[in-house]
A and B are shown apart, each in its own frame.
Chain A
């Protein structure tokens, strides 16, 4: 069987194969393991592949299947899933792509992982990322970067670069990522796949290694909007283990409005997201989509989100502040890496953290420590929080005149390795359109809307809190209307092409 045959498969299609015994769970797992073996040396999307135990688990699922009533098989039964390496998986290493957590094996599953497992999903492996989810290119991984399947010289985006690249290259049918300021949507856009940042509090963060607690959300990265719905149904819903998780039930596909209802929606185009700073070819692709929507009878209105320009700066105060505190626990005392040559306690702390963390992580810890220091707290952290409120109010005002917002995901196409690493501010700009909605805690969906210079272009749909259903409704309409199909980038399968 050629993996290419699965290019346009949805999770439901895999399910049918399994239910009809056209393929065993084990065979399906083996197919993806084979694909990983073939292309991951080029991509480096995985930090850990669950080779041994996934086959054992698949075998036991096949045995269960023998006895089971096919109608009662849960929707993710036998589906392999790739998990970003900052989401805890029991007995499977979880490193956040950081040297400081190298070898850490959590004794527990994140709530999202246990929910997936309860449905019969299989953990395929842990995906590469920017260290502690800090970055927009996956170049900050302590274990080497991931490459963009569309152009191996380019970045896959970040920080969920591994989770996006592996789904794009069909190394995994679906994956989970995490989004703090755009870490699901931007890499999904760079890799031509679908990514959802859910409403803050709609998915439990228990087991997600915290970067910035008030911003972090776990979300699905998939090949189609439909698959995104399937995963979101399973992972969403309140969780007693996370106090910030909203007392809101799990998402149900019934919440998605019908085609007719979607066409009655009013879609806003925020002026600030279509400024000169955006690559003209990206604007062109989005304009195509807008033209399509108008033809479908959808009403488009121009809106303004005046505090957009400040959102980025406020984000780089709030997120590092929380990070500086969240990352204090990596001190070499209880687990993970510890510098060996220290003579006394203070020195052990200094050396462990100096050697264990990468440059970008240290940069943000220092930024955050500074912002929270007495004397600077009011000037930085508190002001950042005030801007955050203004950004949220911008969205509330916009949603008085429209139901959804449509924007580019990123102002740029996937860039070359090293292109932005020397200038952190240039790198931070890659998230300028994903940060405001993250700051506001509202849901946003990233889907592919075309190609420019043979690279994918992402489109973002932003909605009101807990209205993921509307995002999916519009997303499905666009996906079908543009008929681009799921990606299957050509990846050279010859060893001499390894880009190491």
Chain B
């Protein structure tokens, strides 16, 4: 194997995101199946009992249009649902209702920067479909050597996003997936949680040594975390590269990522390719998507993460890193901008959000919009710090308390009896007392021993129970000791 032989890699992704609707795609059943007892969120429609008929959830269609618009797709004037026919125990109707040659959106793209370069990935299609159920092979209620089916997931609305094979490395694919996940969360169509199955990803990987032609396409499935996508792609690229270097032929096939062994394994060959016998679902008439609806959705579509990041950098003179963090979640960026409106100190606000606010959110496992902090309360706190009425350290403590109780900074200060000793006059009094009590250290300092000053600062801090700003204490001490006033 020669290391200098470059491999040309093309990767295309197929991403399924669970849409954030309250009810399923074709019935009224709830969608929050995580952690629910099997088969408790089902009805005759989603389990396909004889005589049941699907009725489209209009909200799911709107969210799909929104996703397609965010990915710069053309919206087709009609939504047509097809049946994808195949047999599997978790598919109660014997077909999945999906879209086929007429998706909601097609020919879009997503841009992002990767390793300092601007990258564009073309989006082939964005369409809406229903999820299937889940097989369970072991459990307390399951006799051994039998399998059970949980239909709770049946009929959950999914948006499927298919990219062109425009990604040229596993790293780039990982970055794209990350940004796509951020995008769907940002526009509020999906929570994008891969570990819980609300975001799933299949990949098409092909490797060529010449770069002249596309290599043979191999589909990789069964990757259920961001880490496993990356690892599976890395493994697959290397596997194909080595095969090519050894003059072996790569077969077009589907491979599964084996998480335990960290390898991809062949699932089935091309000769067994299924014929899904797609045809328009006669139980669902084609739905006209009028341009007015598309306009309305476009208007609800806020600035997308990438645009916003760039604007934040320019408008508030933030670094790329800072803007990146702020735009990870729409709610955080909104919070930041709300605060800036109330207090025109973007850098200060940014610093606090990036560190303290996020730390607290992580600790409480909360999103900012669900937390007890409002921009008003947060800015009030920052103003106290800014005016040095409290120290930054005290501010941090108060913030933590605010997250827990929802009280305002002033309420917490009053309740806890935190005195605003940072007011200079009060501090001077304490400094004076410390000087009085420690003549030896004063003498040491005056004779040039820097260390003595630190001791004196420590004493002041102790006397104030840590509530003073050490910088201010130092200034006052130096001033006093040098006899400036």
Contact = CB atoms under 8 A, between A and B. Distances in A.
Given A101-B50, A372-B85, A244 B285 contact: yes
Interface residues of B, number: 29
A243 B54 CA distance: 7
Contact of A331 (B50, B52, B94, B278): B94
Contacts of A244: 53, 282-285
Contacts of A328: 85, 87, 93-95
Interface in B37-60: 44, 47-56
Given A374-B277, A381-B279, A106 B51 contact: yes
Given A213-B283, A372-B279, A381-B279, A331 B51 contact: no
A161 interface: no
B282 A96 contact: no
A213 B93 CA distance: 14
Nearest to B89: A333
A248 interface: no
Given A106-B51, A329-B94, A210 B85 contact: no
B279 A210 contact: no
Interface string B147-171: 0010000000000000000000000
Nearest to A94: B50
B345 to A, nearest CB: 54
B277 A88 contact: no
B458 interface: no
B275 interface: yes
Contacts of A329: 48, 50, 92-94
Tell me if B's interface is mostly helix, strand, loop or mixed.
loop
Q: Pick the most buried of B50, B92, B279, B283: most chain A CB atoms within 10 A of its CB.
A: B50
B83 interface: yes
B283 A345 contact: no
A214 B87 CA distance: 23
B47 A243 contact: no
Q: Pick the most buried of A94, A328, A349: most chain B CB atoms within 10 A of its CB.
A: A328
Contacts of B278: 372
A210 B87 contact: no
A214 B53 contact: no
A406 to B, nearest CB: 30
Nearest to B48: A329
B89 A325 contact: no
Nearest to A87: B51
A467 B54 CA distance: 27
B310 to A, nearest CB: 44
A241 B53 contact: yes
Contacts of A106: 44, 49-51
A430 interface: no
Interface in A101-126: 101, 104, 106-108, 110
Interface string A134-165: 00000000000000000000000000000000
Given A106-B49, A373-B277, A241 B55 contact: yes
A242 B54 CA distance: 7
Contacts of A170: none
A206 B51 CA distance: 6
A209 interface: yes
Interface string B78-94: 00000101010100111
29 contacts: A94-B50, A96-B50, A104-B50, A106-B44, A106-B50, A108-B44, A206-B53, A207-B51, A208-B51, A209-B51, A210-B50, A210-B283, A213-B281, A213-B283, A241-B53, A243-B55, A243-B284, A244-B282, A321-B279, A325-B277, A328-B85, A329-B92, A329-B93, A333-B92, A333-B149, A349-B87, A372-B277, A373-B277, A377-B279
Interface of B: 44, 47-56, 83, 85, 87, 89, 92-95, 149, 275, 277-279, 281-285
Interface of A: 87-88, 94, 96, 101, 104, 106-108, 110, 205-210, 212-214, 240-244, 321-322, 324-325, 327-329, 331, 333-335, 345, 349, 369, 372-374, 377, 381
Q: Which are the 5 A-B pairs with shortest beta-carbon distances?
A: A328-B94, A213-B282, A214-B282, A372-B277, A207-B51
Given A325-B83, A334-B48, 6 more contacts: A87-B51, A88-B51, A101-B50, A106-B49, A324-B277, A334-B149
